[in-house]
A and B are shown apart, each in its own frame.
Chain A
Amino acid sequence: MSVAALASLLIGVLWIGGGTVWLLTRRRYRLAQVPNFLMDLVGFPVELAQSLFGRTGVPYALLLPNMLIFGFFTFLPMILNFYVSFTGGSSIQLFDRPWVGAANYAAIFDCETYFSPKTCSNEGYDFWTGMFNTLWFVVVQVPILCVVALATALVVNKNIVGRGFWRAMFFYPVMLSPVVIANIWNWVLHRKGALNAALGSSADAMSAMAGMTGFDLVASVVFAILLMAASERAMRASDKPSVAWTAVFGLLFWAVFAWANPLAILGLPGSTWAGLALAGLLVWFVSTAHPKARWAIVAASVLSILLLLTVQFDAVFDFGRVRPVNWLVTPNTGWPFFWLVFVFCWSHMGFYMLILLAGLQAIPKDLYEAAKMDATSPARAFFRITLPLVTPTLTVVLVLSLIRSFQIFDEVWLLTGGGPGRETFMIVQNIYETAFTGDRPEYGEAAAGSVLMAVVIAVFTFFQLFITRRQSEF
Chain B
Amino acid sequence: MGIATFLTRTKGSADRADRIGAADILAYGYLVLGVLIILVPVLWTFVSSLKDERAIDSFDTRILPMTQVEADVPGQGVKPVWTYTAPDGSERDVVKAGPTRAETEVVALDDPETVLTVPRTSLEANEEIRVATENYLDPILKRNGQTNFTFLTYLFNSVFVTVMATLITLVINAMAAFALSKYRFRGRLTFTILIIATLLIPSSIILVSLFFVVWSFGIFGSLWGVIIPAAATPTGVFLLRQYMLTIPDELLEAARMDAASEWRIFWRIVMPLSLPALSVLAILSVIWRWNDFLWPLIVLISDPSKHTLQIGLTTFSGEFDSNFNYILAMTVVSLVPITLVFVWLQRFITTGIATTGLK
Residues of A within 8 A of B (CB): 2-5, 39-40, 42-43, 46-47, 50, 55-56, 58-60, 62-63, 65-67, 69-70, 72-78, 80-81, 83-84, 92, 94, 151-152, 155, 158, 160, 164, 166-180, 183-188, 190, 192-194, 197-198, 228-229, 232-236, 242, 244-245, 247-248, 346, 351, 354-355, 357-358, 378, 393, 396, 400, 403-404, 406-407, 409-410, 414, 428, 431-432, 435-436, 443, 446-447, 450-451, 453-454, 457, 461, 473-474
Write out, one digit per residue, whether chain B residues 291-321 have a CB within 8 A of any chain A CB (1) or not (0).
1011000100000000000100110010000
Given A2-B218, A184-B331: A69 in contact with B61 (beta carbons within 8 A):
no
The interface residues of chain B lying within 8 Å CB-to-CB of A59 are 179-180, 183, 185, 188
Check B23 against A177 for contact (C-beta < 8 Å).
no
- B204 CB to closest chain A CB, in angstroms? 4
B231 interface residue per 8 A CB criterion: yes
**Complex CA distance for A231 and B191, rounded to whole angstroms:** 60
**Complex CA distance for A60 and B173, rounded to whole angstroms:** 13
- A166 CB to closest chain B CB, in angstroms? 6
The interface residues of chain B lying within 8 Å CB-to-CB of A403 are 200, 202
B266 interface residue per 8 A CB criterion: yes
19 A-B pairs in the complex with CB atoms less than 8 angstroms apart = A4-B219, A47-B261, A58-B179, A58-B262, A65-B232, A70-B198, A77-B206, A81-B205, A155-B31, A160-B27, A176-B42, A176-B335, A177-B335, A178-B293, A180-B334, A185-B41, A431-B204, A453-B204, A457-B205
B135 interface residue per 8 A CB criterion: no
Residues of B within 8 A of A (CB): 1, 4-5, 8, 14, 21-28, 30-31, 34-35, 37-39, 41-42, 44-45, 48, 59, 61, 171-173, 175-176, 178-180, 183, 185, 188, 191, 194-196, 198-219, 228-232, 237, 261-264, 266-267, 287, 290-291, 293-294, 298, 310, 313-314, 317, 324, 327-328, 331, 334-335, 338-339, 341-342, 346-347, 349-350, 353-355, 357-359
Main secondary structure of the interface of A (DSSP, over half): helix
Main secondary structure of the interface of B (DSSP, over half): helix
Check B324 against A187 for contact (C-beta < 8 Å).
yes
**Complex CA distance for A142 and B117, rounded to whole angstroms:** 63
Given A40-B264, A160-B31: A80 in contact with B205 (beta carbons within 8 A):
no
The interface residues of chain B lying within 8 Å CB-to-CB of A177 are 290-291, 293, 310, 334-335, 338
Q: Which residue of A lies closest to B14 (CB)?
A: A236
**Complex CA distance for A194 and B34, rounded to whole angstroms:** 17
The interface residues of chain A lying within 8 Å CB-to-CB of B354 are 354-355, 357-358
Check B228 against A69 for contact (C-beta < 8 Å).
yes
